[in-house]
Amino acid sequence: MKNKILIILLITSGLFAGCDDLTEDFLEAPAISTLDESIIFSTPGLAKGAIDGIKVPFAETNSYRGRFLPYYGLNTDTEWFNTSQTAGDNSDLCVYDTKPNNTNMNTTNNAWAMMYSGIERANICIRGLRTFGNPTPGTELGQLLGEALTLRAIYYADLIKAWGDVPARFEPINSETLYLPKSSRDVIYKQLIQDMEEAATLVSWPGQSPATVTVERINKAFVKGFRARLAMAASGFQQYPDGVRRSNDSDLSVAKMYKLALDESLDVIQSGTARLESSFETLWKKYNEENIIAGGESLWELPFADGRGRMLFTFAVRHATSNQFHANGNNRGGVAGPLPTVFYDFDELDTRRDVSCVPYRYGTAVNGIAKQELGRSDTWYFGKYRYEWTKRFITSTNDDGINKMYMRFAEVLFIAAEASNELEGPAAAAPYLKEIRRRAFAPAVQAIKVDAYVNALTSKQAMFDAIVEEHKFEFTGEMERKQALIRWNLLKTNLEKAKAKMSNLQNRTGEYADVPTTLYFKFKADNISLSIYGLNRGENINPGPDYSSFAWQSLVDTKVNSLYKAGVNPDNRQFWPIWQVFIDGSNGKLVNDYGY
């Protein structure tokens, strides 16, 4: 059983009061107001409780759990909200038409507020540890300071990812700093990158101390990988109030940031403390089984207690009712899924395809047993998230307790490939891309699908294009694609390409001319799972009388054209607006840019 987030009711400075939804899923500890900070932050056990308290806002009802994770990162050239064509505040968040008064988001306890709550908790802990704890490398208090710095950076990285420029708070709130205007994200990025440099000196490698035996605690491999991610994002293209561009700050230049990212990623690779799982399916089965032992592919996971979190509730293969796999309620999973073109863009021999893209759902249970059934051709599901792969029978009606895998070793390899290609050329990048593809293809075909394929990428542009494409195949369903497309300056370009490709699939023309229009299916020996013929290109012949046929409905225009709202330029809507309730409560300090 994975560890649970520990709640510490920290109410110093009045900020830690009012933690919502204190449920039985969390363990409570004495309020910090009953103890002196000098005792709290000089005593490892008490200080750990305070650091655990930084994580509490992740799981609040309208924070990451129910608002940020279910919507941020959709829609891209690989993932979309499955009802994007249905007008409303939910789809607005995904189709680049979000309003400041969005009814899902415009609340005082929304993700924006919870992220700043987490930041304030971290600020208090960082100040306390520095003042009273003597947090040095190799000590428990040093580990805890590294964790506090990293957790604060996670909140800030996600704020910038979703909103662009935001207020910078790196000290606990006082009367003079209660209201702050937005700061340049460049300033924040530089602080985070500096903080992660310090954190890396303080925390242990995965599995090398009691604090880092699971991926629910911060470890050095994650800190370095995360620092590399921050460097790539800070130097990439993004929308500023004056347009889409790279940073003008020389400290965040491509040359400097890519060098930093390459160095950090190589440190992780060469440490031997993280690795790819043996197979793609093994990785995702372990994830759904809640295997949180550090030292594998997962570097850090946003930890949810058994009765919190909605990763399966939101993204799993759709289940019409509770059944033999879960009692999580009706119509669970399937809120989002891969674009219907993605399955056909995969090489048929790529083992990631059938893990990532699922064309079936589980129907209504009869006597507690549900069977797989085929659905529409424009509604696929993310196979990385599956109730049927869990070990714990999930009974909560609103949550599932499955963690969010925040970063994995595969991303470190991608960063190494991209940065080395930019700085040193395609030959330097080739080993990292090969390692990714080698896991994706069986040994018998690796000479062609891995070695020959990568060796043919002899120009920097060809290697970059291959990395962009490979990223899609590796990360579909993890909602990492949007920020990557933004920093590559490919958001609008690739969304338009995706719409054109869906039109081709709809009409069975161009690259999808050989995609079948009829599927054939029968149940396997378990009388639950489907054996499907007709999904692969060219499978157009009836396989026999023991199969039933299923008309693979064509995509409809309203769905094809819903990737982003008609008339909207996604490059002018890379960020969500700050919600109106926070604008109104900012004493005139906060404003929305980007035409909102």
Considering the chain, what is the average pLDDT of its residues? 93
DSSP state, 512? Answer: G
CATH 3.90.1170.50 fits 208-303+403-489, yes or no: no
At residue 525 the predicted structure's pLDDT band, cuts being 50, 70 and 90, is very high
DSSP state string for 416-455: HHHHHHHHH-HHHHHHHHHHHHHHHS-GGGHIIIIIIHHH
How far is the C-alpha of 463 from the C-alpha of 445, rounded, in Å? 21
CA atoms within 13 A on the CB side of 572: 8
Res 3 pLDDT > 80: no
pLDDT by residue (tens digit) across 420-478? 999 999 999 999 999 999 999 999 999 999 999 999 999 999 999 999 999 999 999 99
How far is the C-alpha of 361 from the C-alpha of 381, rounded, in Å? 8
Cα angle vertex 158, ends 156, 161, to 5°? 110
Query: Could you identify the residue written with the tokens 């599932």?
Result: 400
Q: Who contacts 87 (Cβ-Cβ below 8 Å, separation ≥6)?
A: none
pLDDT given for residue 15 in this prediction? 30
Res 141 pLDDT > 70: yes
pLDDT by residue (tens digit) across 484-521? 999 999 999 999 999 999 999 999 999 999 999 999 99
Q: Which residues pair with 373 in a beta bridge?
A: 361
pLDDT given for residue 555 in this prediction? 76
- Decide: helix, strand or coil at residue 175: coil
Query: Looking at residues 347-368, what average pLDDT do you find?
Result: 98
pLDDT given for residue 556 in this prediction? 76
DSSP state string for 28-62: EE--GGGS-HHHHTTSHHHHHHHHHHHTGGGGSTT
How far is the C-alpha of 584 from the C-alpha of 104, rounded, in Å? 17
Query: Looking at residues 537-562, what average pLDDT do you find?
Result: 89
How far is the C-alpha of 529 from the C-alpha of 512, rounded, in Å? 27
Query: Could you identify the residue written with the tokens 């570097």?
Result: 299
CB 568 within 8 A of CB 97: yes
How far is the C-alpha of 596 from the C-alpha of 439, rounded, in Å? 44
pLDDT given for residue 222 in this prediction? 99
Query: Looking at residues 23-49, what average pLDDT do you find?
Result: 68
Query: Could you identify the residue written with the tokens 């990812």?
Result: 161
pLDDT given for residue 7 in this prediction? 29
Helix (H), strand (E) at residue 362: strand 360-362
At residue 557 the predicted structure's pLDDT band, cuts being 50, 70 and 90, is confident
Question: Taking the domains of the chain in order of start, what are their residue ranges?
Answer: 208-303+403-489
pLDDT by residue (tens digit) across 163-217? 999 999 999 999 999 999 999 999 999 999 999 999 999 999 999 999 999 999 9
Amino acid at 167: P
pLDDT by residue (tens digit) across 217-226? 999 999 999 9
- CA distance readout (Å), 307 to 61, 322, 394, 532, 595: 12, 16, 9, 35, 40
pLDDT by residue (tens digit) across 94-138? 999 999 999 999 999 999 999 999 999 999 999 999 999 999 999
- Decide: helix, strand or coil at residue 527: coil
pLDDT given for residue 582 in this prediction? 97
pLDDT given for residue 191 in this prediction? 98
Query: Looking at residues 35-45, what average pLDDT do you find?
Result: 92
CB 583 within 8 A of CB 100: yes
